[in-house]
């Protein structure tokens, strides 16, 4: 009866990891001969693991990745893709996030830019970094609507809270005058404070022309180019080779 009350008390205290571990201890013979300190340490470890798992699940849910199951372990390194295994391994440490760096993924449609971006974002989440996936065209729409209805400061604050912002399909929609200024503000806010991962069919040397206005284009690209890891994917469309999205959507 006392053990039952202890489990219930742990649940009321929102210590579900410890409660589950205590239930296991009560029915597992191998715990009977262990000291109080050993059993307590196991309960604490179980609670910490449970909290870490819940936090990670929450981060994945809020990230809204297009391919939430994408992971770097499943990256396809066939020669035609021009992916360097050791370079991807260095990015897997997420040290680039600690230094507030960017990643620019370019290449033609279908070669796996979005999938690889989601795999890198998933790795960031595994390391505990709040992440958010946005299609670039929809992000521009959200910024425009927020500017019109007065909620722009709130939206900017929400975007500033994430360590990694994924902007998928950059340069697939025309930039308005207001869009250029919002993009500059966004890059200025994240420069030196957090990270951006961008995918685009447009080669990097064409981005200046895409942005259009000389001084704003210079300012935006200055905040992107000099702090970015650049990966240019090539090869045939991955979607045609694989029925599942793993490794190349």
Domain locations in the chain? 2-59, 64-241
Residues forming a β-bridge with 200 = 106
At 16 the pLDDT is 79
Q: Is 132 left (phi over 0), alpha (psi -120 to 50) or beta?
A: beta
SS3 145: helix
At 190 the pLDDT is 92
d(CA 162, CA 88): 22
Tally of CB atoms within 10 A around 109: 11
d(CA 116, CA 118): 5
Q: Are 105 and 117 in contact (CB under 8 A)?
A: yes
Long-range residue pairs from 32-37, CB within 8 A, at least 24 positions apart, any chain: none
Q: Are 216 and 208 in contact (CB under 8 A)?
A: no
d(CA 247, CA 249): 7
Which CATH fold would you assign to the domain 64-241? Rossmann fold (3.40.50)
At 249 the pLDDT is 42
Specify the residue for token string 């990256």: 75
At 236 the pLDDT is 64
**What is the CA angle 212-223-142, rounded to 5?**
65
Task: Give the residue ranges of the chain where pLDDT is below 70.
Answer: 1-2, 4, 236-249
For 18, 193, 218, 244, the CA distances from 238, given in Å and listed in that order, are 45, 34, 34, 10
SS3 176: coil
SS3 52: helix
Counted residue by residue, the chain has a size of: 249
d(CA 137, CA 126): 27
Q: Are 211 and 221 in contact (CB under 8 A)?
A: yes
pTM (2 d.p.): 0.81
At 99 the pLDDT is 95
At 240 the pLDDT is 45
**What is the CA angle 175-186-178, rounded to 5?**
35
At 239 the pLDDT is 52
At 158 the pLDDT is 93
Q: Are 165 and 195 in contact (CB under 8 A)?
A: yes
């Amino acid at each position: 009866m006392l053990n039952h009350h202890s489990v219930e008390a742990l649940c009321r205290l929102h210590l579900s990891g410890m409660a589950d571990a205590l239930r296991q201890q009560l029915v597992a013979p191998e715990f009977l001969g262990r000291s109080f300190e050993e059993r307590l340490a196991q309960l604490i470890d179980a609670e910490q693991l449970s909290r870490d798992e819940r936090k990670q699940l929450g981060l994945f849910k809020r990230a809204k990745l297009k391919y939430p199951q994408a992971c770097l372990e499943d990256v396809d390194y066939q020669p035609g893709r021009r992916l360097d295994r050791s370079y991807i391994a260095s990015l897997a440490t997420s040290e680039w996030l600690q230094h507030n760096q960017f990643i620019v993924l370019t290449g033609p449609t279908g070669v796996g830019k979005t999938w690889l971006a989601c795999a890198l974002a998933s790795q960031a989440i595994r390391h505990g970094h709040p992440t958010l996936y946005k299609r670039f065209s929809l992000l521009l729409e959200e910024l425009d609507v927020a500017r019109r209805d007065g909620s722009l400061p709130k939206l900017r604050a929400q975007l500033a809270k994430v360590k990694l912002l994924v902007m998928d399909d950059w340069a697939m929609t025309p930039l308005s005058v207001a869009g250029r200024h919002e993009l500059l503000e966004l890059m200025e806010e994240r420069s030196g404070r957090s990270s951006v991962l961008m995918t685009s069919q447009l080669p990097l040397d064409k981005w200046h022309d895409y942005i259009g206005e000389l001084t704003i284009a210079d300012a935006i690209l200055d905040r992107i180019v000099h702090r970015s890891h650049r990966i240019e994917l090539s090869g045939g469309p991955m979607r045609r080779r694989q029925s599942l999205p793993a490794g190349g959507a």
